[in-house]
A and B are shown apart, each in its own frame.
Chain A
Amino acid sequence: MLIGEIGRSAMLMLILVVPYVWISSIWSAMTRNPRVTLSSKMAVVAQFLLVGLASACLIDLLITNNFHYAYVVSYTSRSLELIYRIAAFWGGDAGSLLFWLLIMSLYTLVVRFTRHEDSERMLPVVTAIMSFVTMFFVLVLNLAANPFTVLSAAPADGNGLNALLQNPGMTVHPVNLYLGYVGFLVPFAYGMTALILKRADATWLKVTRKWTLISWLFLSCGIIYGAHWSYEELGWGGYWSWDPIENAALMPWLAATAFLHSAIIQERKGMLKAWNVILVSLTFLLTLFGTALTRGGLLWSIHAFANGPMGFWFMSFVGLMTTLTIFVIVWRWGVFKMMTAKFEAVVSKEGSFLLNNVLFLGALFAVFWGTVFPLVSEAVTGTQMLVSGPFYNSVVLPIGVALIFLMGVGPVLAWRRANMKSLRFALMIPAAVAFGVGIAVWVAGYQNLLSLASYMATSFVAASILLEFYRGALARTKITGENMLFSLVRMISKNRRRYCGYVVHLAVVVMVIGFATTGGYSQQVTVNLTTGQQVQIGNYVLTFHGLETKDEPGKVLLQGDMLVQALNHSKNQSTLGPVIGVLKPNVTFFIDGNQPTTNMGLYSMPFADLYVVLDGSDYKTGQSLFEIHLNPLVNFIWFGGYLYILGTFLSLWPERRRKAKPESPAVRNPLPEPIA
């Protein structure tokens, strides 16, 4: 009981410490008294240590199966593996809020002790804003969702973690999402600080962009990993099903993506200052709003969040934060009036970035409207109505195609005013490539229109980006005389943000090819097979070699055995090639009486996945029922995902601070503008 009491006491002490951080930060900002500043810094350390202590105590209770605590009983059991006992920390409502608080206090600590231009003036205000949000979480944890609630009598065993969640995904997906979600508080705090201090200038933007990019990277990792996990789990609706929770993660992602692009205009031109503050605020408010929607039981989600008082708490807080944000923006509107540059032409890089923002916010609004539609329709008509996949696909996919097209045009547009003649010249090759690919795909017999449009749009973008790399490297080679490859590497390393941004765009292209192909050309057969029978799907033949049972600790597996062979086509006949893979779909029965789970058998090739589900067997007839899917290019979604993470990561990697040899300005920065 001692550990639990320490955890609970740590949480209680936070009720005093966090307000102290808040007050002392404000005091420090107003007086700039070194002693007050030091004291507030120490309070930030204490805040982190106390949250860390409470978290460590909760993890200890979970690991040691201390069933005196309701939270431990709800999410663990004696037979649960250690890794999932730790994962139970963020597996439940109260624990996940403490986890949120842990990340937030860690970020506050990092932010408070970083140094940048004007940090002495800005950081106390930033800290005050962050600790204001922290206070809300401390209150909710102590009053409404305390993970240290003691039971009157300890049961012999806990309820355990649901079998579907006992998956490595449970250690990766939620953690990344929280790291991303919580991270958006930092850009918001900087945005508000910039306004309060009347400093909506470059310093604010530089720090904010970095924090947004970090949070955006985590959020993207979380979303991509979640999609992968959902793809492999039967009954979760594939890699994306437009569930309210998925939308809750997508909405801040869309707003942040819009910001990462419009930030470039402010950086280069000093324009759109107000707009950028609004975008980072919107991103942060959407993270709170998403949490309020999905935790309050307001919306039905396939992610079964608890229906509790959490919705009321979060909704009230969203209301408060939105009001305060609008107040600060209106109060300090004058700060934005110092805008100097003006748009000189519609067809220009500035114009394309603005259109990008309109499209991203259009998609955001569509997702938002679809997500809250049940609430709106109930308020207006009295009956809840909802929209699902077809609605989102019919709105978001066309916007997506427009965005992809823009990705191809944007890089070749000049700042200020594009020269139409050179624009036409620059786009000629990508357009020719797109039409070539379109015709080739059509002739090859793949005539699904949406997929075809996607292939053409993506090849247009890919050609346009690769040409950018080529032209840049060629220009450098001409000046320096280096060889092409060396020149390319040097060019990328010297303009890392710009070219890594293009890598992220290429990653999106790869992912879209995956979406378009699985969407248009997936095949599915459902067959009953007896031992020795074969079934063909696409270019593959699967031979069923019978069922076997396997005993594992705590469970028994009923496993099907299938061999995969590819068909080789020669002039007039098809022959079976050698065995290339084995599929082992199974049904797992748990000895403790839990519901059996179905695990699909997967044979993954670079260009296609064979995905088999064993869905029952009849002992009388000896037949087993299989659902077999052939998903072409589905791996492109994950390959693209990895490339996307790599591109963002490289773009974030700090610049080396060594002095470069003097070079001519043209070589140092032949194409200077950053892309993200």
Chain B
Amino acid sequence: MSVRVRLWSAFAIVIVVIVSLITVGVVKSATYDLTVTQALADHLSADVPITVRGQVVGNSVAWEPSHEYLQFSIANTQGSSTLRVRYHGLRPDDFTNGWPVVVTGKIGSDGVLTATQLLIKCPSKYEAKS
């Protein structure tokens, strides 16, 4: 076997390994990325983790520091539909009305999303409301 063929065979194996890692990774950890409207409309199985983007509804935030328990609703951009979220963990800064957040978790039979992850937007390039 020439050096060229051996070299390419070695790289082919490495490439196959990387591609399989990517494929397995995608299958195992991809979640649906939905807006609030889509999350409410989609009849997904409760076992499927989803990521929902929305804006915090200011007067819905209930924060119990002693239990580290945060409940709030997120709304779509028009504010016409809302999704209730419960989260065990700390309340992030900038958790105000209209602030964009992303939550990942599962929607239970009661229609509430139990979030395992809650992220707020870093406000770089934040376009202030005029």
Contacts and interface: CB of A to CB of B under 8 A. Distances in A.
Contacts of B51: 386, 388
A88 B72 CA distance: 32
Interface string B50-94: 010100000000010110100000000000000000000011111
Interface in A528-563: 528
A395 B65 contact: no
Counting contact residues on chain B (CB < 8 A from A), the size range is 35 or more
A369 B23 CA distance: 10
B25 A74 contact: no
A164 B94 contact: yes
A617 B53 contact: no
B10 A355 contact: yes
Given A74-B128, A162-B123, A390 B7 contact: no
A385 interface: yes
Contacts of A92: 125, 127
Interface in A216-260: 230, 233-237, 241
A270 interface: no
Contact of B30 (A302, A343, A386): A386
Contact of B18 (A362, A383, A387): A362
Contacts of B123: 162, 164-165, 304
A73 B127 CA distance: 11
Residue with the greatest number of chain A CB neighbours at <10 A, chosen from B53, B123, B124: B124
Interface in A306-346: 306, 342-346
B3 A346 contact: yes
B125 A93 contact: yes
A354 B65 contact: no
Contact of A377 (B10, B30, B100): B30
A301 B119 CA distance: 10
Interface string B1-38: 00110110011001100100110111011111110001
Given A344-B3, A618-B66, A306 B127 contact: yes
Interface in A375-399: 377, 383-388, 390-392, 394-395, 398-399
B28 A390 contact: yes
Contact of A366 (B22, B119, B126): B22
Interface in A292-311: 295, 300-306
Looking at chain B's contact residues, the main secondary structure is mixed
A351 interface: yes
A305 B125 contact: yes
B121 interface: yes
B125 A303 contact: yes
A469 interface: no
Nearest to A307: B127
A608 interface: no
A374 interface: yes
A527 to B, nearest CB: 11
B126 A162 contact: yes
A373 interface: yes
A74 B127 contact: yes
A70 B128 CA distance: 11
18 contacts: A91-B125, A96-B125, A235-B119, A236-B119, A241-B119, A302-B120, A354-B7, A355-B11, A362-B14, A366-B18, A374-B33, A384-B32, A385-B30, A388-B104, A395-B25, A615-B65, A615-B90, A616-B91
Interface of A: 70, 73-75, 91-93, 96, 159, 162, 164-165, 174, 230, 233-237, 241, 295, 300-306, 342-346, 351, 354-355, 358-359, 362, 365-366, 369, 373-374, 377, 383-388, 390-392, 394-395, 398-399, 526, 528, 595-598, 613, 615-618, 623, 625, 627
Given A305-B124, A369-B26, 4 more contacts: A162-B123, A234-B92, A362-B15, A386-B51
